[in-house]
């Protein structure tokens, strides 16, 4: 099983990498077939998004920036699961992680990662873990990733850090690595939440009315997502109550 870990810190051997490396050790101890590959966003060529809208309106292959975006997308597609990791920088993800998200913004319109499992890892000096984890998980979720495990770790400054605190943070990593592992070996398609179901319906309604030569329209049509019998991005069981509520709404 191949796991791609995307590290969004400018420091290649920083706290965020260290936290993910702990998860790697935990997962590999459980299953020797698990292989990690790291992508340090600060070490690849991913130029800042210019906001030109070309990827969204005309297709990502027309993006004027020639860099590692395409090969990174291929890596994400080929991986069985992806870990997205970022430090908290001024109550947000790091700028490198944000740029990564913006460079793949077209995937919010043409979500091509549906069914792919993900884990979100956030590190901080003191605050912001919940908020930044939520931001990261929801953005990657809008591209189709299913966040199966989330962990936020505090790396307190050396003068505030004690052994008890470090152990507590270490235990959080171990627990969430286990949660992630159990989700990875569960082969049943993940049931969508009501919000995800509604998002599918809302997007379908928007794109079905779009001009037929628009890339989003063509993408959705090719996927078969406009067809009445298609209830969600991928085949999965949908609870009766969710089905009824989404129909009414």
Ligand X SMILES: Cc1cc2nc3c(=O)[nH]c(=O)nc-3n(C[C@H](O)[C@H](O)[C@H](O)COP(=O)(O)O)c2cc1C
Positions touching ligand X (CB under 6 A) are 9, 11, 14-16, 87-91, 123-128, 155
Distance in Å, CB of 101 to ligand X, minimum:
17
Tokens encoding 140? 């990657």
Token pair of 111, please?
């979500």
Asked if 179 contacts 148 with a C-beta cutoff of 8 angstroms, the reply is yes
- Shortest distance in whole angstroms from residue 210 CB to ligand X: 39
- Which residue lies nearer to ligand X by CB, 49 or 153? 153
CB nearer to ligand X: pick between 128 and 141? 128
Residue 177 in 3-state DSSP? helix
- d(CA 82, CA 117) in angstroms, rounded, equals 7
Nearer to ligand X, 123 or 139 (CB): 123
Q: Quick one: 219 exposed, middle or buried, by C-beta within 10 A (0-12, 13-18, 19+)?
A: middle
Q: Where are the beta strands (DSSP E) in 34-73?
A: 35-40
Nearest distance from C-beta of residue 169 to ligand X, angstroms: 11
Which residue, 155 or 220, has its beta carbon nearer to ligand X? 155
Q: How far is the CB of 234 from ligand X (least distance, A)?
A: 33
CB of 165 to ligand X, least distance (A): 14
**Cα torsion angle, 122, 126, 132, 133, sign:** positive
Burial 174-208 (b: 16+ CB within 10 A, else e): eebbeebbebbeeeeeeebeeebbebbeebbeebe
Q: Give whichever of 98 and 109 is closer to ligand X, judged by the CB atom.
A: 98
Cβ-based nearer residue to ligand X, 72 or 88? 88
- To the nearest whole angstrom, how small is the minimum distance from the Cβ of residue 123 to ligand X? 4
Cβ 157 to ligand X shortest distance, Å: 8
Nearest in space to 104 (alpha carbons), one of 70, 135, 57: 70
Closer to ligand X by CB, 154 or 246: give it. Answer: 154
Pick from 139, 133, 164, 138: nearest CA to 16: 133
């Amino acid at each position: 099983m191949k796991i791609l870990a995307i590290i969004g810190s400018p420091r290649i051997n920083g706290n965020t990498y260290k936290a993910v490396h702990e998860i790697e050790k935990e997962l590999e101890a459980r299953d020797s077939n698990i292989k990690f590959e790291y992508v340090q966003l600060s070490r690849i060529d991913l130029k800042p998004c210019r906001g030109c809208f070309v990827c969204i309106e005309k297709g990502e292959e027309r993006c004027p920036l020639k860099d590692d975006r395409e090969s990174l997308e291929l890596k994400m597609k080929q991986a069985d699961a992806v870990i997205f990791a970022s430090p908290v920088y001024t109550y947000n993800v790091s700028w490198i992680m944000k740029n990564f998200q913006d460079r793949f913004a077209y995937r919010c319109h043409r979500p091509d990662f549906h069914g792919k499992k993900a884990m979100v890892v956030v590190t901080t000096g003191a605050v912001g873990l919940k908020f930044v984890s939520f931001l990261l998980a929801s953005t990657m979720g809008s591209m189709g990733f299913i966040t199966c495990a989330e962990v936020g770790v505090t790396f307190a400054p050396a003068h505030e850090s004690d052994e008890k605190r470090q152990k507590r943070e270490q235990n959080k990593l171990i627990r969430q690595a286990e949660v992630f592992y159990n989700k990875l070996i569960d082969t049943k398609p993940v049931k969508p939440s009501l919000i995800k179901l509604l998002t599918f319906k809302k997007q379908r309604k928007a794109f079905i009315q779009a001009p037929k030569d628009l890339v989003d329209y063509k993408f959705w049509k090719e996927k078969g997502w406009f067809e009445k019998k298609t209830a969600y991005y991928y085949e999965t069981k949908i609870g009766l109550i969710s089905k009824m509520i989404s129909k009414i709404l």
